[in-house]
Structure formats: structure tokens, C-alpha cells
Structure 1
Amino acid sequence: MSAPLLEVNNLKVSFKMFAGEVQAVRGVSFTLDKGEVLAIVGESGCGKSVTAQTIMRLTPTPPSFIKDGSIIFDGKTDVTKLSEKQMMKIRGQEMGMIFQDPMTSLNPTMTVGAQIAEGIRKHEKLSKSAAMRRAVELLTLVGISNPGERINQYPHEMSGGMRQRVMIAIALACHPKLLIADEPTTALDVTIQAQIMDVMRDIQEKTGTAIILITHDLGVVAEMAQRVIVMYAGKVVEQGDLNDIFYKSQHPYTWGLLSSVPRLDSDKKAALASIPGTPPDLFAPPKGCAFAARCPYAMKICQEQDPEHLPVSGPTHTAACWLMHPDAPKVERPVAAGGGVTHV
């Protein structure tokens, strides 16, 4: 069996602030196989984006620093040990990233063609004319019409959906093995969201690029992902394949996320479910389970000791919850979680 493309082991990332240390990522571990689409979901502030940016070594240092753990890329390279000069050779060529807001990520003073060609010229040593021809091919690949004219436009001359397609083209310019998409459909309307996801799915099928999809939109996850990681307060609380998480989930936080998805077959007058309370302060994370204060099934041990991951329906489906313990009271999974995403 071949080694995974990416192996994250016990990753801990903190930020040194004036008020103290923010423990943004607290022992995250997962693997990503070649050609696989992995989704990381959770509320804002749960550590999704920090995890993704740390894989690319894009978190500013200081204030951020890696406290512990390793990130093994392509079976041999520990990203956490590389210098910035070494990382510059990997970014773009081996790993690509699609950021949340293309308007602030693209350079407003450069044409989109020049921005796409920049990485190609740096990593593949092509001439300017050859790189621009590749830029036209990439704009065609991501579904932009009249690419020969569009390469001479500036970001402000394009719509939000077109700018996001340009970001995808930049990320794919040097045929990376890993593509990280951080909230790629944020701030886009539903129609454009669907088009962007179609583009990403089509490109993934054509190129075989592995994708890490960072999102809070479970509808996007249902369309794209093969495996799902659920994060809360800087930790992985549940992980498994798509069906495991959507139909066999065992963590109350996962139930809450699924129950909050609107259903087309439900009573329109019914109130949309929500998770009460707020996430914990990561300046001083709780001693026990971070979700205990918001969990309707919390027990005394949940406040005192953090649960370990236990297998649920197979070796790849695990959940960190004391309800999995043989001595815990039996709790029925909420009905809403069982089909809350069927019609997304």
C-alpha cells in the first residue's frame, strides 16, 4: 500500500498575543491519499483555516508558532522543518491554495494573465510568451470565456465568480499534487457557487489532484468530498467517509451541524435548529471535552477528562465522545441528523 500524500500528526499551532497564548490547533491528526477529496468542516474559529495555512506554512511567524507535531508531504518531506526558501519551492509547484476572498488575494495592480504566468515562470522556467499561452489554457480549463482577452484584464474588471476561477487557475498553474480550497464559495451567490464546485470537481477528475476542502457548507461537502473531518475548538471530534458522517455520525456536535441544515421536505414554518452557546475561549481551553458546555448529553466525566477517539463503524470512522464508552447511557441519534442533508 502506497504512503499517503499528506500525513498530519498531532499538529499543535498557537498564537502569542499580548493577553496570552491562543491555542488555535490542539493536536490535529489526519491523512490524505493521492487523488482524494477531504473536507474539513466546523464553525468559524474551530481551527480549519489555521490547519490549512500551516500545511502551506502561510501563518505569520510571529505571532504564530508550531508547538508540536509533523506534516509529512509526499511520504518524505516534513513541512514543519523546512525553511522559507525551501517552502517557496513547494508552494505553487507541489501545493496550491484557493483563498476565501479572491478580491483581496489577487494583486489589483497586475493583470490576471500576469498573475497566473508569474508562478509558471518561476517554477517551470518558461518564457513570458509560453507562460501566457499556458495562462490562456488555464483560463479555458476553469471555464472563462474569451480567455485571450481576459488575460489582459485586472481583477476589478471581473465578477466575483470570475475572480474565483482565476484563483483556481493560479492554484493549478504548475500541476500541484495537493490543492487546498479554503472556503472557495464564500460570498458568492448560489448559482455561482454551484458553477465553481462543478469546475473544481471537473478539474479533480481530469488531473487527479488531491483536494482539502475547508468549509462550513455541508451542501458543498455532500457534492465534493469522499471523507470528512469535523473540527471543534482546535481538535478533530469526528472523522469518517461521507456516508459515515452524514448517516452514522456519533458526536453530538456533528449532530448539531447536520440538524442545522435546512430541509426541502420539512415544514416551512418549523424553526431552523441551532447549537446553543458559544465555542470555548482558546486562551484557556477547558480541561475536559471542549463541547461539554453546549452538549445536551454532557456527563460529569465530560467536564473532567477529554475523550479519546474510538472506532464507530470501522477503522476510518472515529469519534471523540464519552457517549461511545460502554458504560455511557444509550442516546438515540436525532432524526434530523439522519436525513438533514438528503436534499441539499
Structure 2
Amino acid sequence: MKDNILKVHNLKVSFQTYAGEVQAVRGVSFELNKGEVLAIVGESGCGKSVTAQSIMRLIPSPPSVIKEGSIRFNGTTEITTCTNHQMEAIRGSEIGMIFQDPMTSLNPTMTIGKQITEGIIKHKKVSVTEANRRAVDILTLVGISNPEGRMQQYPHEFSGGMRQRVMIAIALACSPKLLIADEPTTALDVTIQAQIIDLMKNLAEQTEASIILITHDLGVVAEMAQRVLVMYAGKVVEQGTVDELFYNPQHPYTWGLLRSIPRLDQPADSELVPIPGTPPDLFAPPPGCAFAARCPYAMKVCIETDPEHRSVSDSHSAACWLLHPDAPRVDRPIEAGGVTQ
């Protein structure tokens, strides 16, 4: 049995606005094992980034509030009750984060070297000389050539791919146990994406860090992750291993995601099948399944009552009324292996 590095239980996060309460995360639960890569996928606005930033306690409060739930890190630390001072000791040292847009996340007025050594000096209590040496080592590790010279440069002097490597270097500078990567390849071209994916895979193996990968790119998921959470409207609708999600998906939303991406085994002129409709308004979430209004298989019970998670295997579950023993059988609209690499 693997040890848990992170256990999130029934997490509920809302934003208080002038228009009312936005229920951004509505009862999310999952576990992350040591050395594991867990992907969280879903449409924009489904709660992926809010969940990740709640783990780091990076969302300003107010307007955000953790209404309910537990985030237990490394078996003993309850993140939801940590003080700001305690979180400052955890961020960077125990939990690192790679943000979505390095150009807005890096400080344009500070050299790259200063931004990397800042965390090392704070958390490791070492001299400036030792911090600089570690910074050079970590830049070399992430594939930056001439690291000594690059330490003196500013973010605008780097390309997009190199800035993302610097973000990874900052996140890894203090050897955290958990690394959260929030869509780390979104703004990069496909060649650089492949390089960043290979880099993160190699670093995960070398440092034995656990990784939470936030993405909407199922190709990245297939390449990097061992387990996957599929989120919709602030909830986890399906979770399982990568093979289970790609070869035996159970939720109609997962089917829709897999059908809406290109496949190498389909003719070049094949049309992608989009998911019709839009996600629900999280000011007033529907009483039943949030996906019911967009689901071609929706039944009366789907509209009235929110389904519970039902186990497909020991590691695979989905929240769908189609898994109920009394539900009608439907033909899955995708073949086994919804994505072909």
C-alpha cells in the first residue's frame, strides 16, 4: 500500500460576490500517493485551478472561503487550518507550483537568478553563494544552457519555453514533496510542449516528487499521468487510472471529452464532435446531475437527484445514474481507447 502525500476530502470552496455566492468547488475528494502523477482534467471553469490553489492557500480570502472539507498534507498537516505564517513555511519548501503563464508569474524587475535564490535562502537558510550554486545546478537540471550567464538576465530575455523551464526551476529549487503544475504547456507550441513534458517526467523520476497536473489536454495526460480526475461544474464526475479512463470511460462527459479531440486512427477529414451546450451557472447549480442539460442520455432522475459515485473497479468510479443496476443500457459512442497516441 502506497503512502499518501495528500488527501483531500469533501472540499467546498465558494466566492462571495455582489451578485451572490459562486460555488466553484463542490465536494471534491481525492488522494495522491508519494511519487505519483495525478491529472485533473475538464473544461475551463470546472474548478481545476481553484482546487489546486486551495491546496496552496493562494486564493485571497475574502472573496474566497473554504466552506467545508479537509486538505491533509503529508499525513499530519491540515492545510485548511494553517496560519499564514505556517503556509509561508510550506509554500516553496514542501509544495511547489508551476503557474499557467510564466510571463505574468515571473517578476519582470528581478533577474532570474534572484527569483530562484530567493526561495532557497528563505527556506534552506544558506548563504548567497551556496544559493547561487544551487540555482545554477537547478537551471542545468531543467535544460537551460549557460546557466551562470542566464542567472543575470531578466524574464523578457527568455523565450516562452525557457521561461517555463525557469518556472519549473523555481518550483523545484527547494526539493518540494509535492509539485502542482497548472496547465504548464498551454501557451507553448507543440515542439516545446513535448520537451516540457519529457522534462517534467524525468524530474519526477529523479526527485521522487508527487505531481498534480492541471490540464485540458488529454494528450499530455496520456503521456504523463498514472491516475486521472475528470471534473465538471466543481465536482469530480469520474476518476481512475489512465488506462481505465481512456479505454473504459463510464461518464457521458468523459465520452464527450474523448470524442472532441483528434485521433490518429481516424481519417484526416473526420469532424470532431463538440459537446453541445454550456456548463451550468455556479451561482445556482442544478439540484441533479450538473451535466444533465447537455447529456443525450439524461433521464428524469438525472435532473432531479445528483448521482453518487459508483465503483467500476477498485480504482475506478463515476458519478452517473447510468451505472445504477436499474438504468437502461446505452451504447457507448466511442471505441475502446478514446485517444490514440
Work out whether 1:118 is the aligned partner of 2:85: no
Q: Secondary structure at the match of 1:335?
A: coil
**Mapping of residues 259-298 of structure 1, within 5 Å:** 259-298=259-298
Query: Which amino acid counterpart does residue 334 of structure 1 have in structure 2?
Result: P
Number of residue pairs matched?
A: 341
1:3 shift after superposition: 3.9
- What residue in structure 2 maps to residue 31 of structure 1? 31
Work out whether 1:43 is the aligned partner of 2:43: yes
Deviation digits for residues 67-102 of structure 1 (CA, Å, limit 9, x no counterpart): 000000000111000011100000000000000000
- Is the Cα–Cα contact under 8 Å of residues 12 and 26 in structure 2 kept in the other structure? yes
Q: Secondary structure at the match of 1:5?
A: strand
Q: Measure, in 1, the Cα distance between the counterparts of 2:48 and 2:289.
A: 18
Q: Measure, in 2, the Cα distance between the counterparts of 1:269 and 1:221.
A: 25
Q: Secondary structure at the match of 1:51?
A: helix
Deviation digits for residues 284-337 of structure 1 (CA, Å, limit 9, x no counterpart): 00000000000000000000000000001x12100000000011000122234x
Deviation digits for residues 154-209 of structure 1 (CA, Å, limit 9, x no counterpart): 00000000000000000000000000000000110000000011110010011110
Identical pairs, percent: 73
| Unpaired stretches in structure 1, ≥5 consecutive residues | none
- Is the Cα–Cα contact under 8 Å of residues 247 and 338 in structure 2 kept in the other structure? no
- What residue in structure 2 maps to residue 332 of structure 1? 331
Q: Measure, in 1, the Cα distance between the counterparts of 2:238 and 2:71.
A: 20
| Unpaired stretches in structure 2, ≥5 consecutive residues | none
**Mapping of residues 17-166 of structure 1, within 5 Å:** 17-166=17-166
CA RMSD of aligned residues (A): 0.8
- Is the Cα–Cα contact under 8 Å of residues 262 and 340 in structure 1 kept in the other structure? no
Alpha-carbon distance change, 187 to 2 in structure 1, aligned in 2, over 3 angstroms = closer
1:340 shift after superposition: 3.1
1:129 shift after superposition: 1.2
- What residue in structure 2 maps to residue 188 of structure 1? 188
- Is the Cα–Cα contact under 8 Å of residues 276 and 294 in structure 2 kept in the other structure? yes
Q: Measure, in 2, the Cα distance between the counterparts of 1:332 and 1:95.
A: 43
- Is the Cα–Cα contact under 8 Å of residues 6 and 31 in structure 1 kept in the other structure? yes
**Mapping of residues 303-322 of structure 1, within 5 Å:** 303-312=303-312, 314-322=313-321
1:2 shift after superposition: 5.4
Q: Secondary structure at the match of 2:66?
A: strand
TM-score (norm: length of structure 2): 0.99
Deviation digits for residues 129-171 of structure 1 (CA, Å, limit 9, x no counterpart): 1101111000000011111111111000000000000000000
Work out whether 1:230 is the aligned partner of 2:230: yes
- What residue in structure 2 maps to residue 10 of structure 1? 10
Q: Which moved more, 1:281-290 or 1:123-132?
A: 123-132
Q: Measure, in 2, the Cα distance between the counterparts of 1:222 and 1:24.
A: 26
**Mapping of residues 215-226 of structure 1, within 5 Å:** 215-226=215-226
Moved over 2 A (4+): none
- Is the Cα–Cα contact under 8 Å of residues 22 and 282 in structure 1 kept in the other structure? yes
- Is the Cα–Cα contact under 8 Å of residues 40 and 48 in structure 1 kept in the other structure? yes
Query: Which amino acid counterpart does residue 172 of structure 1 have in structure 2?
Result: L
